[in-house]
Structure 1
Amino acid sequence: MVTVALDWKRIDWMPKETWKKNILPKIEAVGLKHEDIKRSVYVIRLNGDFCIQYPDGQSPTIYIGEGNFGQRYSGPHI
């Protein structure tokens, strides 16, 4: 059996925010470096009391991904 320690960080990403101007500084503000997110697991979820109705119940989670978060969500302007 393998045990992996998880250290979750949370940032808010508002619709008009851009990677370089807003998101990367937020990531750095929670103590991460750009290199730290090259191998990551990330959860994209709704904020507040909003949920999605799935076949087995409700959840605020929209997407769970793995890999290079910065490359996946920043586009070519990183």
Structure 2
Amino acid sequence: MDVFTPRVGQLVRDRRTGRVGEYMDTIGGERYLRPEGGGKEWAADPVNVGPVAPDLEYANPAGAPKGSLRSAQQ
């Protein structure tokens, strides 16, 4: 099974928790992710980390918090 290898700063999904965060680093075999816009990092097993769904895009519509995700079909 191929394991997804994200780029630093790339938005990824932790499939175990359903959370979306920015990939920060891999240390000791774990991927470290941070919530969009900052916050406390969490560790995820590499097999549970994947790209954000292709029907979502990274956007900052007026009035939305920085780095909000929204559907590209809106």
Same fold (TM over 0.5): no
Which structure is richer in relative contact order (CA contacts within 8 A, separation 6 or more)? 1
Q: Which has the higher strand share?
A: 2
Report the TM-score, using the length of structure 1 for normalisation.
0.27
Larger Rg: 1
Q: Which has the higher helix share?
A: 1
Report the TM-score, using the length of structure 2 for normalisation.
0.28
